[in-house]
C-alpha cells in the first residue's frame, strides 16, 4: 500500500489547493454576508463562472470518463481533490460531471440526460429518501402503477439535494408491491415538465434540500433507467460510489479549522500569557491533530481499496463514521478555543459547526454505519485484522 503521489498527481493537488486559495476563499466574506441576510450563498451564475475558470486549466469532469470529455480521475485522486475543496465552506464543485448511474441508461437516455448534464445544460437530483423512508431505503412508498405504455407516479420525496433547481429527477418507486425488498423498486428519469413540483425545506445549515411531490405524474416506459425491478441496486451503486468522499471533504475542513485554532492560540492572550501556553488548549490541538491524521489514513485506505478493485464498502463505512464524529468534535474544540467569538457569526466557525453536523446524518447516519460495520463482522463478511 503506497500512498505516495506521482509528479502528475502532486501537480493536480497543488493546482486545486491554489485554486481554492485564490478563487474560492476570497468569496467567503461575501458568502457569509449573504447567508446571514437570508440570501443564497453562491449563485448558479457564480458557480458557473468558477467552473469556467477551472475548465480553462483542464479541470472539467474530474470523475467523468475520458471518453465523455472528463479527466477520469480514480478514487485516490478524487479523495485528494475532495480534501482540498473541503478547505473552504463555499459549496463549489467542478463542472462536467453527472450522477454515476446515468451511465447505465440507453443511448437515447444518454443523449437526453447524461450528456446535457455533463455539459452543464441540465441539472439532476437523486430522489429516494421519503418522509417515512430515510435510512431504511427499502421502505419507500412512492408508487409507479403501469397504465398501458406509461407508468403513473404518486408519492413524496424529501431532503432532496438540488431538488429546487433540478429540471429532471432520478426517482425510485415501487413497481412490484409483493417484492419491494429486492426486485420491487424501479428507477425513473422524470422531467420536471411532466408535472412534479418541489418545495424547499429550511434547515439549520446552508444546505437547501427540497421535498418533491408526484401527484399522478404520467411518464412513458422509456424513462425507466436500467431494468424494471432493478432500481434498488442502482440506488446502492449511487450511494456507495462516493461515500468515502464525504469524510474526505470533512478532512479538509478540519485541517483548515485546526489551523484557525492554532493561529488564535498563538495570538490571544489571557492572564498575561498566550492561549498556546495553556495545557488545556494544547491538548485540544494535539487530540485534533491525531484524529485528523487517523481520518486521513481511513479515507485514503477506503479510496485505495476502491482504486484497486476491492470491495471498499466496509472501509468507506468506517471512514464515514469516524469522519462524521471526529469532524464534529474538532469543530467544537476550535469553537471552544475561540471562546465567545467562536460562537458569533463574526467568524466562519459556527458556519462550519452547522455544516459538519449534517455529515453524521446524510448518505447513511452514524447508526447505519455502525449497523453495517457490526453486521459485516458478525456475519463474517470481513475479519478482524483482515
CB-side exposure of 259: number of CA atoms within 13 Å?
Answer: 7
End-to-end CA separation in angstroms for the chain: 14
| Alpha helix segments (H runs only) across the chain | 7-19, 28-36, 44-56, 75-85, 107-109, 115-118, 231-241, 245-267, 279-307, 313-338, 340-343, 349-357, 366-378
Q: Which residues pair with 46 in a beta bridge?
A: none
* Burial (Cβ within 10 Å: 0-12, 13-18, ≥19) of residue 8: exposed
DSSP reduced 3-state for 173:
strand
Verify whether residue 363 is a known catalytic residue: yes
CA distance 329 to 323: 10
The CA distance from 275 to 268, in Å, is 6
Q: How far is CA 87 from CA 55, 92, 295, in A?
A: 20, 11, 15
Tell me the C-alpha distance between 376 and 386, whole Å. 12
Q: How many helices (H) and strands (E) does the chain have?
A: 13, 10
**Of these residues, 206, 255, 355, 363, which one is catalytic?**
363
Cβ neighbors of 136 (< 8 A, separation 6 or more) are none
Residues with a known catalytic role: 363
Amino acid at each position: 500500500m503506497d500512498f505516495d503521489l506521482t509528479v502528475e498527481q502532486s501537480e493536480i493537488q497543488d493546482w486545486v489547493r491554489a485554486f481554492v486559495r485564490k478563487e474560492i476563499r476570497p468569496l467567503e466574506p461575501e458568502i457569509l454576508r449573504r447567508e446571514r441576510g437570508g440570501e443564497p450563498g453562491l449563485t448558479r451564475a457564480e458557480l458557473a463562472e468558477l467552473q469556467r475558470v477551472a475548465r480553462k486549466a483542464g479541470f472539467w469532469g474530474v470523475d467523468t470518463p475520458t471518453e465523455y470529455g472528463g479527466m477520469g480521475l480514480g478514487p485516490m485522486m478524487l479523495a485528494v481533490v475532495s480534501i482540498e475543496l473541503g478547505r473552504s465552506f463555499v459549496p463549489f464543485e467542478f463542472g462536467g460531471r453527472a450522477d454515476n448511474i446515468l451511465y447505465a441508461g440507453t443511448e437515447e437516455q444518454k443523449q437526453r440526460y447524461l450528456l446535457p448534464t455533463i455539459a452543464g445544460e441540465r441539472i439532476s437530483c437523486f430522489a429516494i429518501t421519503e418522509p417515512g423512508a430515510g435510512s431504511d431505503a427499502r421502505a419507500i412508498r412512492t408508487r409507479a402503477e403501469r397504465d398501458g405504455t406509461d407508468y403513473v407516479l404518486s408519492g413524496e420525496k424529501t431532503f432532496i439535494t438540488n431538488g429546487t433547481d433540478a429540471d429532471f429527477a432520478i426517482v425510485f418507486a415501487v413497481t412490484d408491491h409483493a417484492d419491494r425488498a429486492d426486485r420491487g423498486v424501479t428507477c425513473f428519469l422524470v422531467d420536471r415538465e411532466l408535472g412534479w413540483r418541489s418545495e424547499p425545506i429550511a434547515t439549520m445549515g446552508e444546505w437547501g434540500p427540497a421535498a418533491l411531490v408526484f401527484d399522478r405524474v404520467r411518464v412513458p416506459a422509456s424513462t425507466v433507467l436500467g431494468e424494471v425491478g432493478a432500481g434498488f441496486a442502482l440506488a446502492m451503486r449511487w450511494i456507495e460510489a462516493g461515500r468515502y468522499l464525504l469524510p474526505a471533504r470533512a478532512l479538509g475542513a478540519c485541517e483548515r479549522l485546526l489551523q484557525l485554532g492554532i493561529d488564535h492560540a498563538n495570538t490571544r492572550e489571557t492572564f498575561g500569557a498566550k492561549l498556546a501556553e495553556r495545557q488545556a488548549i494544547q491538548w485540544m490541538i494535539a487530540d485534533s491533530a491525531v484524529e485528523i491524521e487517523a481520518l486521513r489514513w481511513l479515507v485514503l485506505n477506503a479510496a485505495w481499496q476502491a482504486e484497486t478493485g476491492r470491495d471498499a464498502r466496509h472501509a468507506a463505512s468506517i471512514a464515514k463514521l469516524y469522519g462524521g464524529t471526529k469532524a464534529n468534535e474538532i469543530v467544537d474544540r476550535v469553537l471552544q478555543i475561540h471562546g465567545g467569538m467562536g460562537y458569533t457569526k463574526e467568524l466562519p466557525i459556527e458556519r462550519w459547526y452547522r455544516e459538519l453536523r449534517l455529515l453524521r446524518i446524510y448518505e447513511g447516519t452514524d447508526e447505519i454505519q455502525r449497523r453495517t460495520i457490526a453486521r459485516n463482522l458478525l456475519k463474517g463478511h470481513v475479519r478482524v485484522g483482515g
